[in-house]
């Protein structure tokens, strides 16, 4: 059963990034202290990577025992390992390379130059997820999952009116003919994302306002995938004022 859903509006992009980074470090420290370890699912995108960079630059990062945290990705572009387009490369440069994270705790998707086909890469990631599953669930239940939201409302590489957003049997899918380049990608599916304790959707800019408004107004997740993101404990939309232009006042958390 999905938990609480909130919208936290920040004055601008810089305030948004700083706030989410601080909250991420605090919550991750709490999770590790309470559970003895944790799993975090990362996203790409300019705002998502900015949050990671801000977290890496904060003295508060030293409050987290990073050796007990595993990192995964919600999706990845099917490009070469050293491509600047890879979410993995961006996350390493901005965040992971600055922390004492064992390499065994970092779980990137395969790349196009690893010698696997796109479908084989999807199967390989599904097996890796299953290795960390528990209680009969073939994937870890992430403690925090970061998601960006596209102007069309897509999350991870689950796009509107495509079969991927409706997939319920597989944990990982191969994406072809993506409406956003590059055309080939890998993505976790909605059941895996929604098994997360907390889903944090982070978005900024006026071009996201329509998608956010529709997602919160009860749109079908098939048409607006962001509407289908629901964490087990909490789902939080962290947004700047421009992105919140079409959010009803009643849905905005009073603390903001």
pLDDT tens for the chain, 256 residues long, are 457 889 999 999 999 999 999 999 999 999 999 999 999 999 999 999 999 999 999 999 999 999 999 999 999 999 999 999 999 999 999 999 999 999 999 999 999 999 999 999 999 999 999 999 999 999 999 999 999 999 999 999 999 999 999 999 999 999 999 999 999 999 999 999 999 999 999 999 999 999 999 999 989 999 999 999 999 999 999 999 999 999 888 788 775 4
Q: Are 193 and 147 in contact (CB under 8 A)?
A: yes
Residue 99 makes CB contacts below 8 A (sequence gap 6+) with: 56, 61, 66
- What Rg, from alpha-carbon coordinates, does the chain have? 17
Strands (E), 55-139: 69-73, 75-77
Burial class of 121 by CB neighbour count within 10 A (0 to 12, 13 to 18, 19+): buried
pLDDT of residue 4: 85
pLDDT of residue 74: 98
Specify the 3-state DSSP secondary structure of 71. strand
pLDDT of residue 1: 46
pLDDT of residue 249: 80
CATH 3.40.50.1360 fits 4-251, yes or no: yes
The full set of domain ranges for the chain reads 4-251
Residue 120 makes CB contacts below 8 A (sequence gap 6+) with: 110
Give the DSSP letter of residue 109.
P
Sign of CA dihedral 48, 73, 90, 80: negative
pLDDT of residue 255: 59
Q: What is the pTM of this model?
A: 0.96
Question: Quick count: other Cβ atoms within 10 Å of Cβ 101?
Answer: 18
């Amino acid at each position: 059963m999905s938990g609480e859903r909130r919208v936290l509006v920040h004055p601008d992009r810089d305030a948004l990034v700083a706030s989410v980074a601080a909250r991420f470090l605090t919550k991750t420290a709490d999770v590790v202290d309470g559970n003895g370890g944790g799993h975090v699912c990362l996203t790409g995108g300019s705002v998502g990577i900015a949050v990671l960079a801000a977290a890496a630059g904060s003295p508060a990062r030293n409050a987290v025992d990073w050796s007990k945290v595993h990192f995964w990705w919600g999706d990845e572009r099917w490009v070469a390992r050293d491509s600047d387009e890879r979410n993995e490369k961006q996350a390493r440069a901005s965040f992971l390379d600055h922390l004492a994270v064992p390499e065994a705790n970092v779980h990137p998707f395969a790349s196009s130059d690893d010698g696997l086909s796109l479908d084989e890469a999807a199967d390989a990631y599904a097996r890796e997820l299953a290795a960390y599953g528990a209680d009969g669930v073939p994937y870890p239940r992430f403690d925090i999952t970061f998601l960006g939201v596209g102007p069309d409302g897509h999350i991870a590489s689950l796009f509107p009116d495509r079969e991927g957003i409706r997939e319920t049997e597989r944990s990982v899918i191969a994406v072809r003919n993506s409406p956003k380049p590059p055309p080939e990608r890998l993505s976790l599916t909605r059941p895996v994302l929604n098994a997360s304790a907390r889903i944090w959707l982070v978005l900024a800019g006026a071009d996201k306002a329509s998608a956010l408004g529709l997602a919160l107004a009860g749109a079908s997740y098939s048409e607006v995938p962001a509407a289908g993101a629901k964490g087990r404990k909490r789902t939080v939309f962290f947004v700047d004022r421009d992105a919140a232009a079409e959010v009803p006042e009643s849905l905005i958390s009073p603390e903001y």
